[in-house]
């Protein structure tokens, strides 16, 4: 199993600013995943982050808007850049348990953009 | 991986009743997983059933898988108010990333 510490848990930001979300895992993991959940919607995968290489983004998401860092096997950050009210969502990081093929999730970051 | 479609979209029951929700998918899978999300927080893994399994139990949870019909069901027996949450299925072809559908919103009333 894996325990993920995600922060901040929530934030209220002004449009045009940027917010960096951090995820710390208590064990080394190969891949970390970043999801977005817009109000009342399901989770949408933003990107997959491997250590030592650029993140792989899903259709509709670009690096300039959602830059991701993965400096080591236990840590990753997602930045939401030049925010607008449409970016108001819950952002979630997750990692895969290689033995069981299941995902563990952080507790989420609830972002509101005014 | 592919997106599963959960049905119903919403379910409202009384404490002590059973809750059944279904998941359908389109292409062959290696396994199918169910997750729970409480009030906009992170998802919690409930149970994984492999393509060669037909039924699996975990506490008050019972999951079935019918690969011929490309469907799965999650049964929660003797439901409690604490079971109030959204439930998601995720069919997996063995790739790393999981995709989630709209989920079933379960409300259990005391």
The reply to whether residue A42 touches residue B103, judged by beta carbons under 8 angstroms, is: yes
The reply to whether residue A45 touches residue B97, judged by beta carbons under 8 angstroms, is: yes
Return the CATH superfamily for domain B5-109.
Immunoglobulins (2.60.40.10)
Q: What is the pLDDT of residue A70?
A: 93
Q: What is the pLDDT of residue A81?
A: 98
Q: What is the pLDDT of residue B1?
A: 67
Residue predicted with more confidence, A69 or A96: A69
CA–CA distance, B58 with B20 (Å, rounded to integer): 15
Question: Which 34-53 residues of chain B touch chain A by CB within 8 A?
Answer: 35, 40-45, 48
DSSP string, A74-99: TEEEEEE-S--GGG-EEEEEEEE-TT
**Minimum Cα–Cα distance from A30: chain B residue:** B96
Instruction: Give me the CATH code for the A1-8+28-98 domain, please.
Output: 2.60.40.10
B43 in Cβ contact with B107 (< 8 Å): no
The separation between CA A59 and the C-alpha centre of its own chain, rounded to angstroms, equals 16
CA–CA distance, B7 with A89 (Å, rounded to integer): 24
Positions in chain B short of pLDDT 70: 1, 94-96
CB nearest A90 (choices: B40, B88, B101): B40
* pLDDT one-digit tens code per residue, A20-44: 999 999 999 888 999 999 988 889 9
Collect contacts of A43-49 with beta carbons under 8 A, ≥24 apart. A43/A92, A43/B43, A43/B88, A43/B100, A45/B97, A45/B98, A45/B99, A46/A78, A46/A91, A47/A78, A48/B96, A48/B97, A49/A76
Q: What is the pLDDT of residue A110?
A: 95
* pLDDT one-digit tens code per residue, B39-48: 878 899 999 9
Q: Give the three-class secondary structure for B83.
A: helix
Burial environment of residue B78 by CB neighbours within 10 A (0 to 12, 13 to 18, 19 or more): exposed
Percentage of chain A beyond pLDDT 70 is: 99
CA–CA distance, A59 with B51 (Å, rounded to integer): 29
Mutate to test the interface with A, among B4, B43, B102 (most CBs of A within 10 A): B43
B65 in Cβ contact with B53 (< 8 Å): yes
Kindly state the average pLDDT of the residues A75-84. 97
Q: How many A×B Cβ pairs under 8 Å?
A: 53
Q: Where are the domains of chain A?
A: 1-8+28-98
Sheet strands (E) in A1-114: 4-7, 10-13, 19-25, 31-37, 43-50, 56-57, 68-72, 75-80, 89-96, 103-105, 109-113
CB nearest B97 (choices: A6, A33, A106): A33
Residue predicted with more confidence, B97 or A111: A111
Structure tokens at A43: 């989770």
Q: What is the pLDDT of residue B36?
A: 96
- For residue B18, count other CB atoms closer than 10 A to its CB: 12
CA–CA distance, B80 with B14 (Å, rounded to integer): 8
Q: Give the three-class secondary structure for B80.
A: coil
Phi, psi at A16, each rounded to 5°:
90, -15
């Amino acid at each position: 199993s894996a325990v993920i510490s995600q922060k901040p848990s929530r934030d209220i930001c002004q449009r045009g600013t940027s917010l960096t979300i951090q995820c710390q895992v208590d064990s080394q993991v190969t891949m970390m995943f970043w999801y977005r959940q817009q109000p009342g919607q399901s989770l949408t995968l933003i990107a997959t982050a491997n250590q030592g290489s650029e993140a792989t983004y899903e259709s509709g998401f670009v690096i300039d808007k959602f830059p991701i860092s993965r400096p080591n096997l236990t840590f990753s950050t997602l930045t939401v850049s030049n925010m607008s009210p449409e970016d108001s969502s819950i952002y979630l990081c997750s990692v895969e348990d290689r033995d069981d093929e299941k995902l563990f999730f952080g507790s989420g970051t609830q972002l509101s953009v005014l | 991986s592919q997106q599963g479609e959960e049905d119903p979209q919403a379910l409202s029951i009384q404490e002590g009743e059973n809750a059944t929700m279904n998941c359908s998918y389109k292409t062959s899978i290696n396994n199918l997983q169910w997750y729970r999300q409480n009030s906009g927080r992170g998802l919690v893994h409930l149970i994984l059933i492999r393509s060669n399994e037909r039924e699996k139990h975990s506490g008050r949870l019972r999951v079935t898988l019918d690969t011929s019909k490309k469907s799965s069901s999650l049964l929660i027996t003797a439901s409690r108010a604490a079971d109030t949450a959204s439930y998601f299925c995720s069919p997996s072809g063995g790739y790393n990333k999981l995709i989630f559908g709209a989920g079933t919103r379960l409300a259990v009333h005391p």
